Structure 1
Amino acid sequence: MSTAEAMAGVPELGKLITRRERIRLPIWCYALLASVVGTAYSFRQLYPTPESRARFAATVGRDPALAVLYGKPFDLTTLGGLTAWRMGVFGSLLLAVMSIVTVVRHTRAEEEAGRFELVGAGAVGRRAPLIAVLRIVLGTQLALGVLIGALLTALGMGASGAFLFGLSLAACGWFFAGVTAITVQLTDFGRSAGGLAFTVLGAAYLLRAFGAGSGANGPTWLSWLSPIGWTEQAQAFAGDRWWVPLLDVLGTALLVAGAFRLARSRDLGGGIFPARPGPARGAASLRSAGALGRRLHRGNLIGWGIGLLVFSAVLGAIADSIAELVGTSQQANEIIQRMGGQGGIVDAYLASCMNILGLVVAFYAIQSTVRLRTEETGGRVEPLLATGTGRLRWAAGHLVFPIAGSGLLLALGGLAAGLAHGGRSGALGRQLGELVLAGLIQLPAIWVLVGLTVAVYGFLPRATAAAGWSFVGLCILLQELGPLLRLSHWITDVSPFATVPRAPGVAIPAEPVLVMAAVGAVLTVLGLIGLRRRDIG
């Protein structure tokens, strides 16, 4: 196949992808820009003098748990160095997730749904979808990197470090776009391709975490095995190693070249490793709608559980260091107190962590809820409903996971944080109970979001995914930016997480918890009523 044939249709597909991503891509871009610029601005307000930054750096540099969570600190005496330390890992993860989701959506998911077979019947090259989506993803992230550099420079930070930091983030996103270009060639299904790519992302994060937290005498070289670690090792504002992002660029080029070679070796709609056919007859344990739901959701639940155990353990391990950190800035102390309650600063920090845990689990809950719509549009519901299975039984088999599975994840997160914090503080029994309870009281807020999503699914099914993710995104923006921007409580209280009691450290009133649980139940019932009355598909 000639280059012209392979590129046929790329401009047209690029326009189509741009139109389909006209809402998602701006949200991704805004989330990263707001986080980076907001963090830089808040550090300038919290630690305005070299002395305050030096005291902060002396505390952070002694705590390996903070290095595991945020990254290895190279120079925290400058505002640029603080921003790069705080946002390097988070920004890399955000762009990596953006790459994975977008590439899967416009390649493997299109083949799985059968739409590319129709598009490919025209004058469209076999490689055109992958080329088109990579052009958009890589171009958007490059523009983001340049814009981050310009904004940080405008805030008074060194231009060299600012642009290196922005481009290092973009380069990490490029690498995972290349990883996803490989995974979509290997499997038959979009979920499998995304799962493989997220597994690589998780491994990269763990390698970076072990390398950053191992200390001077440990295996710090592990960070060099991770593209997320390369963002750290670029040392923006602390040496400016411009050659390090070239590792991402080289890796991306090799991965994309490998993806095109693999694409020539597989059939349209199939993967290099096709799914194996199942047995002719299902086991007795699979002969119900609930059993089907368990089979479809169990892998996702296990993956989230493992990730949250590690994440929560790190958050709990650094709790004892928080009092020292905020002691260098009264303003930081006041902000964390406002976000976490009226108790001691460690309890306030832990309450804030449990609130963050709730927001993270909300992603799982919405993902599991949206699976209802995915099954419907994939044509897998109608054959099931043609049997004796009713709509409500089928929906209940899926909804048990966002409703009860979320509670299990919250309990696991509280347990991991309690073990880590209790083991270091010497109060293991008390911390375990308090933090498991603090995690579980986030559950009614998640039920409200699930109920809203189910209600949309019941009456406006085409808007299910957009509405569900918009609800979570709004909650995160209000949670993260509300305290920094001093927004009125009339605005921040729109989020159900704003009314969750800030445990541990305070008494837990039953009224707001019960009210939110009731609201979530009513919304879910309304959505199921809508599902019964509308047409499937």
Structure 2
Amino acid sequence: MSGGAPTATGGHDLAGTGVLYRLALRRDRIALPVWVYLGTAMVASTVFSFDKLYADEASRRTFAAGIDGNGSLRALYGPVFDGSTTGGLTAWRMGVFGAVLAALMSTLLVVRHTRAEEEDGRLELVGAGAVGRRAPLTAALAAALTANAALAALVAAALLAAGQDAAGSLAFGLSLGATGLFFAALAAVTAQLAETARAANGLAGAAVGAAFVLRAIGDSGTGTGRLGWLSPLGWSEQVRAFAANRWWVLLLPLAGAALLTALARTLVARRDLGAGLLPQRPGPAAAAPALASAAALARRLQRGPLLGWTAALAVGGAVFGGVAKGVVDLVGDNPQMAEVLARMGGQQGVLNAYLSSIATVFGMVAAVYAVQAVLRMRAEEVSGRAEPVLAGAVSRLRWAAGHLLFPLLGTALPLAAAGLTAGLAEGLALGHGTGPAVGRMLGATLVQLPAVWLTAAAALAGYALLPHRAAAGWTGFGVFVLVAWLGPILRVPQAVLDLSPFSHLPHLPGGRLDAAPLLWITALTALTAAVALAGLRRRDLG
């Protein structure tokens, strides 16, 4: 895969790295800024909220003391190391989830520019030129370094702009960036192990999940605090930004990233191009009768992600439902906190407001799956696999219908799973019966479906009408989620909030079920999908 000297050990194994690095940034010129903006906006909105809710040090310390005695919230967010400043509370609230966001951004980026390129055959064409064996891997890691450096710098700048301590702001930003670098290097290893991009992402995602669980057990206050040190996410919070500012802890993720990078560079030279180090199970010589139609093939391609997202939302429902009692105890008599929760979803008390807000979050997460399911058609098209299917007696609309069943009907499964587990966990935590709690939460999650459908229809329109713009399918999702998520916190005008279908949904549990917005959102979904399918029929594929 290189021109000139042998690339496994020779001096040309990095040839072309600069070109591939610039190409990676060019291809992700929209996706990466969105990831970085999302992380920065989450931190900025959080520090803004805490500044409004707890304007004096006494109220902040009282809030932090409530968290210290609440094991469920510590397991979810971690302990508060500095309860005297707004920056310290922001580090508590966003430290773990900001690190998770950096980890996901990094793993997806590295796999996209390494294993995914091999799987699609593009890396073989690139390697036919003067490109070194390790150049694609090095370029992908350099792009991840750039993205995480930008995230760290902008997060620190946002905290500084909010009037927070400079050292704490820098420590917090660097903790997120260093965590992202660790998981970028980990993804570089999984890209060598797995033969497909989906499997590589799955291995890296499982590592992120395991790190979260280890950290949660360590922070839960059950005498297992040392387990947190086994988790890269635990390292991020142990920097203790705005408290001790332990800079030496940053050496742990950086050293881990260096070791994993060295391992990935060794592995990439020891395997064949296009192959993974983990053995693949051979498939049957002939297709089963159940794969005799385009819809059956779509079902086979889509079932894995559907089951994965269903399991993820089920776990999320159990976690967030289980901390319902902790949230109620923490809010107590704080009217400002109750007001914010009520503004984000629900009018019938703190508990209903909290449950309504997490139901909205589940709807947004389900919308991510819906967009991915729609854009599977784009992946099939650009890889050339859709062409032989459509060469037979299969129309474009029939082919699209097989895939669209999943974002339209399949999204009900992960939402129902989230509602079921959240209701069970909430009922057990509060001791008021699981049956009524499950019913309330199922209604709250399933009412998100029209907004999820409209998001999927917007993605379909982007794919069908603007096929050569990679971010077109995600544009609607980005607008809908950012408006609904950050709008209430930032108190944006109602006209802006109205841009998101999630802002029009009934606030359940606790609110009134109004069918009108559900009907007009569904009608708008049908209209958008019809326009998109008409465009898909008329344009050239590929």
TM-score, with normalisation over the residues of structure 2?
Answer: 0.94
Report the 3-state secondary structure (helix = DSSP H, G, I; strand = E; otherwise coil) of the residue aligned with 2:303: helix
1:264 partnered with 2:269: yes
Work out the CA distance in 2 between the residues paired with 1:324 and 1:493.
33
Give the conservation status (yes or no) of the 8 Å contact 2:459–2:477: no
Give the conservation status (yes or no) of the 8 Å contact 1:496–1:516: yes
TM superposition shift of 1:150:
4.2
1:177 partnered with 2:179: no
Q: Deviations over 1:355-391 (max 9, x none)?
A: 1110111111101111011011111111122233332
User: Partner of 2:527 in structure 1?
Assistant: 522
User: Partner of 1:429 in structure 2?
Assistant: 435
Give the conservation status (yes or no) of the 8 Å contact 2:463–2:473: no
User: Partner of 2:337 in structure 1?
Assistant: 332
Q: For 1:105-116, list aligned pairs within 5 A.
A: 105-116=112-123
Are the structure 2 counterparts of residues 517 and 419 from structure 1 closer, same or farther at C-alpha, using a change threshold of 3 Å? Answer: same
Match of 1:251 among 217, 231, 256: 256
The code of the aligned residue for 2:516 comes to E
User: Partner of 1:79 in structure 2?
Assistant: 86
Q: For 1:276-287, list aligned pairs within 5 A.
A: 276-287=281-292
Q: For 1:14-25, list aligned pairs within 5 A.
A: 14-25=21-32
TM superposition shift of 1:274:
5.3
Match of 2:56 among 49, 61, 70: 49
Match of 1:391 among 372, 375, 396: 396
TM superposition shift of 1:169:
0.8
1:160 partnered with 2:181: no
Work out the CA distance in 2 between the residues paired with 1:39 and 1:518.
35
Bigger mean CA deviation after superposition, 509-518 or 522-531: 522-531
Are the structure 2 counterparts of residues 390 and 136 from structure 1 closer, same or farther at C-alpha, using a change threshold of 3 Å? Answer: same
TM superposition shift of 1:78:
2.3
Bigger mean CA deviation after superposition, 62-71 or 97-106: 62-71
TM superposition shift of 1:289:
2.3
Report the 3-state secondary structure (helix = DSSP H, G, I; strand = E; otherwise coil) of the residue aligned with 1:370: helix
TM superposition shift of 1:527:
2.2
Are the structure 2 counterparts of residues 458 and 140 from structure 1 closer, same or farther at C-alpha, using a change threshold of 3 Å? Answer: closer
User: Partner of 1:441 in structure 2?
Assistant: 447
Work out the CA distance in 2 between the residues paired with 1:157 and 1:531.
51
User: Partner of 1:495 in structure 2?
Assistant: 500
1:104 partnered with 2:105: no
Q: Deviations over 1:204-241 (max 9, x none)?
A: 1122122222x1x4322221221111111222223222
RMSD: 1.8
1:235 partnered with 2:240: yes
Q: Deviations over 1:328-375 (max 9, x none)?
A: 543322222111132112111111111111011111110111101101
User: Partner of 2:457 in structure 1?
Assistant: 451
Stretches of structure 2 that go unaligned for 5 or more consecutive residues are 1-6
Give the conservation status (yes or no) of the 8 Å contact 2:306–2:410: yes
Work out the CA distance in 2 between the residues paired with 1:491 and 1:280.
55
Work out the CA distance in 1 between the residues paired with 2:500 and 2:389.
37
Bigger mean CA deviation after superposition, 388-397 or 219-228: 388-397
Work out the CA distance in 1 between the residues paired with 2:462 and 2:90.
39
The code of the aligned residue for 1:249 comes to L
Match of 1:203 among 197, 206, 210: 210
Match of 2:98 among 61, 67, 91: 91
Report the 3-state secondary structure (helix = DSSP H, G, I; strand = E; otherwise coil) of the residue aligned with 1:32: helix
Work out the CA distance in 2 between the residues paired with 1:183 and 1:97.
14
Give the conservation status (yes or no) of the 8 Å contact 1:55–1:328: no
Match of 1:67 among 41, 62, 74: 74
Work out the CA distance in 1 between the residues paired with 2:283 and 2:377.
23
Are the structure 2 counterparts of residues 253 and 391 from structure 1 closer, same or farther at C-alpha, using a change threshold of 3 Å? Answer: same
Give the conservation status (yes or no) of the 8 Å contact 1:348–1:505: yes
TM superposition shift of 1:257:
0.6
Work out the CA distance in 1 between the residues paired with 2:286 and 2:89.
59
Give the conservation status (yes or no) of the 8 Å contact 1:449–1:468: no
Bigger mean CA deviation after superposition, 28-37 or 79-88: 28-37
The code of the aligned residue for 1:118 comes to L
Work out the CA distance in 1 between the residues paired with 2:410 and 2:291.
19
Report the 3-state secondary structure (helix = DSSP H, G, I; strand = E; otherwise coil) of the residue aligned with 1:243: helix
Work out the CA distance in 1 between the residues paired with 2:185 and 2:225.
26
TM-score, with normalisation over the residues of structure 1?
Answer: 0.95
Give the conservation status (yes or no) of the 8 Å contact 1:458–1:526: no
User: Partner of 1:461 in structure 2?
Assistant: 467
Stretches of structure 1 that go unaligned for 5 or more consecutive residues are none
Match of 2:515 among 510, 513, 516: 510
Match of 1:194 among 197, 201, 206: 201
